[in-house]
């Protein structure tokens, strides 16, 4: 394992905190939704739409910010994203109408997307493939911990200081990271190697990635794993609370099962990837996802009860923890000099898989554990197809992306 680009010792800490920023901002204000609705004189649904708009802006931005960072450089893109994020956080706190809040949240989603996309791309720029996988595992732990910890923090801020305080907190965090980025972040991409023209760069980057079988395999592994996770997130409140009678105050313990497994799997990933290799770890994780869905179907039909659903989800999270960090690392390694575009496209696939999972749950009105298991199996099959694709022999076209160092041609 080697370092590819010289960098400040604090650079990885900056990247980790930047990636965590978007996850924190997405849910930290959830405990304040009733208070925001009361303060702005609107229904709670209108406030919830601010989260939808945040995620929508985030999703669309994933396809744009990656190539922009390849074209303009990682450093200015991340700094610009942090500026947008911090200013929009202040705008959220100062909002006196729901429209202002919703628009500010959209801008905040763009800034948060820049932090996550560039953060992952810089990791690939500064490390080799194996160390990138270990770093992605650490980032995965941070991302998985966010949805569990952020609402707890937001609830305390709401009680102590009011609804505005959550937005002030994340804006302050963004401002501190902005100062840190100006201080420690090097430029890690050689802009002389990218195609001239922004539009041409977008087309060039995405045409290369979408015609590279390994990248498609890595993206399928990411998206397939996200299908099951978000299907559980959408279906679990109905299946566990309404059908199985889990008390609402205990629901959080059941909902924490996938993140617990993911954190554990990511930790194992960070220890074993250098020994067994990225591709084998992805394949093992994808098989685990498929087996987890099968286990939920069998246990729900044979035994029943909430634990027949929740406990296997720990294994699901563990399997995702093995495959997803490695799939991100592998995808960024197919064409390293357009890692920004690869990061954006993979994140889009992750969020697209999640959207597909929630759509399937809604369309089929999932109310049983075995139906949820079928959704996980469907995602697991897609992930397994991707895990098998990355094992196929492949060499990048000569001179592609201005480089001859594609993943298959020269593993780091």
For the whole model, what pTM was predicted? 0.68
Task: Give the number of other CB atoms < 10 A from CB of residue 394.
Answer: 17
Query: Exposure pattern of 347-365 as b/e (b: 16+ CB <10 Å)?
Result: bbbbbbbbbbbbebbeeee
CB distance 129 to 329 below 8 Å: yes
- Hey, which bits of 319-384 come out as E strands? none
What pLDDT does residue 319 have?
Answer: 95
Average pLDDT over residues 138-158: 73
Distance CA 387, CA 286 (A): 7
What pLDDT does residue 194 have?
Answer: 52
Architecture of the domain whose range is 207-392: Up-down Bundle (1.20)
Distance CA 116, CA 68 (A): 14
Average pLDDT over residues 195-202: 62
User: How far from 269 is each of 64, 139, 193, 216, CA to CA, in Å?
Assistant: 30, 12, 32, 21
Average pLDDT over the chain reads 81
* DSSP count for the chain of H helices, then E strands: 15, 0
Within this chain, domains 11-128+143-184 and 207-392 share the same CATH topology = yes
CATH number of the 11-128+143-184 domain? 1.20.1250.20
And the tokens for 297?
Answer: 């179907």
Q: Distance between terminal CA atoms of the chain?
A: 8
pLDDT-based confidence at residue 130 (cuts at 50, 70, 90): low
And the tokens for 106?
Answer: 């959209």
Give 345 or 395, the one with higher predicted confidence: 345
Among the ranges given (151-160, 311-320, 362-371), the one the predictor scored with the smallest mean pLDDT: 151-160
Give the domain ranges of the chain: 11-128+143-184, 207-392
CB distance 326 to 136 below 8 Å: yes
Cα 144 to chain centroid, rounded: 9
What pLDDT does residue 5 have?
Answer: 52
């Amino acid at each position: 394992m080697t370092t590819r680009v010289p960098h400040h010792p604090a650079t990885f800490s900056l990247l980790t905190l930047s990636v965590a920023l978007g996850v924190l901002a997405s849910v930290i204000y959830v405990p304040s939704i009733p208070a925001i609705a009361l303060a702005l004189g609107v229904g709670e649904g209108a406030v919830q739409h601010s989260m939808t708009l945040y995620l929508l802006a985030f999703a669309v931005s994933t396809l744009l910010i990656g190539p922009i960072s390849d074209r303009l450089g990682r450093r200015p893109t991340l700094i610009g994203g942090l500026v947008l994020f911090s200013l929009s956080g202040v705008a959220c706190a100062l909002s006196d109408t729901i429209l202002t809040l919703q628009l500010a949240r959209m801008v905040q989603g763009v800034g948060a997307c820049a932090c996550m996309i560039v953060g992952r791309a810089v990791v690939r720029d500064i490390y080799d493939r194996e160390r990138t996988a270990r770093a992605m595992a650490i980032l995965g732990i941070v991302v998985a911990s966010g949805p569990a910890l952020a609402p707890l923090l937001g609830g305390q801020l709401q009680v102590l200081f009011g609804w505005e305080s959550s937005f002030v907190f994340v804006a302050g965090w963004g401002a501190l990271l902005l100062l840190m980025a100006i201080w420690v972040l090097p430029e890690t991409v050689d802009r002389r190697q990218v195609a001239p023209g922004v539009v041409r760069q977008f087309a060039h980057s995405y045409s290369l990635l979408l015609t590279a079988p390994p990248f498609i395999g890595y993206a399928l592994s990411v998206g397939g794993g996200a299908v099951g996770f978000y299907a559980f997130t959408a279906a679990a409140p109905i299946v566990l609370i309404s059908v199985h009678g889990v008390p609402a105050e205990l629901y959080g313990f059941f909902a924490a099962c996938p993140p617990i497994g993911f954190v554990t799997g990511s930790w194992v990933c960070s220890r074993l990837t250098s020994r067994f290799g990225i591709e084998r770890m992805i394949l093992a994780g994808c098989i685990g996802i498929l087996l987890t869905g099968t286990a939920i179907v069998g246990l729900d039909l044979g035994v029943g009860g909430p634990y027949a659903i929740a406990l296997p989800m720990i294994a699901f999270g563990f399997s995702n923890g093995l495959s997803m960090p490695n799939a991100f690392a592998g995808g960024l390694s197919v064409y390293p000099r357009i890692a920004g575009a690869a990061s954006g496209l993979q994140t889009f696939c992750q969020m697209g898989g999640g959207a597909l999972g929630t759509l399937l749950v809604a369309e089929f009105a999932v109310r049983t554990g075995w139906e949820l298991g079928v959704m996980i199996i469907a995602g697991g099959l897609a992930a397994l197809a991707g895990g098998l694709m990355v094992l196929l022999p492949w060499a990048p076209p000569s001179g592609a992306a201005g480089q001859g160092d594609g993943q298959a041609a020269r593993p780091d």
